[in-house]
Amino acid sequence: MKKISKYLFLAAGIVFFMSACDKEDTLSTEDFQEYEPQGRTKYIITATPVGTTGIADYLLTADNVSSGSISTAGNGKEQDGSYRYYLTHKGRFFSLLYGQGNPGDVTTYRLTQEGKLVMTRFFQAETVQVLAKVQDELLLMKVPRSGNENASFYRIDALKSRVNGEKQVNIVQLAANGERAHFTWATQVGNKVFAPYMSIKGCCGDAFGTAYPDSSWIAVFSYPDLTLEKVIRDNRTSFIGNYFNNGLAVTEKGDVYGYSPASAKNGSKYTSTKPSAIVRILAGTTGFDKTYFFNVQEKSGGYHISSQMYLANNKMLLMMYDKPGAFNGNLKLAIVDVANQTFEWVKGAPAEIISTSAPYNNNTLSDDGKTAFIGLNTPSGNWIYKIDIASGTFAPGMKVEGGTITAITKMVY
């Protein structure tokens, strides 16, 4: 992610047209030599170069990010445009261009048996606001904030890069309160899709304002037919997630935890009266657990959750600010045990953090479940930090020179 604040305004794309490209390090799917993965790991780091125009990011690759340095200078695969978003699924790395309201380019990359990153598909895309991995597909959602009352859902075959299906959902009817449902993200839960949403006016010069600041909703859809089965409702906190930030995490046991930033607005004023908190849906159920309520705002001394990254074993990394709705300023990181409702500020992180790598597509958990990685951009430089999950301790690893870290993910080949 460029930095967290950009997800308030930007979106990514969906496939409609495909064509092969004749570029360096480009192979068609037909030419790509399939092989059985050998369990080797390659990290893909995306970084926005300093002082350039027309270049969104460079894709950098590394076998190990625990030490050393890497630079955008003369290195990596250039991603053009102003903004891009990234998703890894089924052995593919998807780079999606934000099209400024117009269709944008999408490129699909794969690793050769030698560990070389090559492009295998190039296609055009509509602008969407939600992208998630569901079964063997990408589920993408185009969610209008005003005007059109229908959100468009697209199912994309991740292996073949083609549209498998499309569904229209009336978001005004879904909200059923005179406003409209604006999905913040979507997450596969068992064989269903849970899609939290904000209730927004979508008009009147206050598109993201609401008259319902103290309620939360999750729409439950069947898959793959995407039939709305029910809406899970609660009024102990505000809406779940943030615009272009995944509010839900599914544990190894199958329990679902959702955070609220408690940052609903009406006009220019923040009007949520309930705290920034975490709520729970037990595995196999489709309703909030009324016996569980984790008041994170209280335990943190007044901070609000802006985004989260699930680590492992009920541990979640929280990005937090001391003001509601903030996406820049005094960013602090905490690790919580959502099952036991324990809270600790992380140890070893930089005193001042400008932004982090995208939490929504981070899959850097080690095989033993003990460590993960995150990119931290600071005034003195940009590093990939190693997270010791059990102790909540951060340690600097690879330094990224010449660019701001926007995402880090890993692929097995």
pLDDT tens per residue across span 373-383: 999 999 999 99
DSSP string computed for 239-295 = -SSBTTB--EEE-TTS-EEEE-----EETTEE---SPP-EEEE-TT--S--TT--B-
- Six token digits for residue 39: 């369990």
- Identify the weakest region by mean pLDDT among 83-92, 167-176, 329-338: 83-92
Q: Are strands 130-134 and 228-234 parallel, antiparallel or unpaired?
A: unpaired
pLDDT tens string 233-268: 999 999 999 988 899 999 999 999 999 999 999 999
- pLDDT exceeds cutoff 60 at 9: no
Helix (H, G, I), strand (E, B) or coil at 323: coil
Query: Domains along the chain?
Result: 4-412 (2.130.10.10)
Contact 97, 78 (CB under 8 A): no
Structure tokens at 167: 């569904």
pLDDT digits 0-9 by tens, 116-147: 999 998 876 677 889 999 999 999 999 999 99
Task: Compute the C-alpha angle 215/252/245, nearest 5°.
Answer: 40
- Could you give the C-alpha distances from 164 to 159, 323, 357, in angstroms and in order? 11, 42, 30
The pLDDT of residue 82 is 78
Q: What is the C-alpha separation between 326 and 45, in angstroms, rounded? A: 26
Banded model confidence at residue 99, pLDDT cuts 50, 70, 90: low
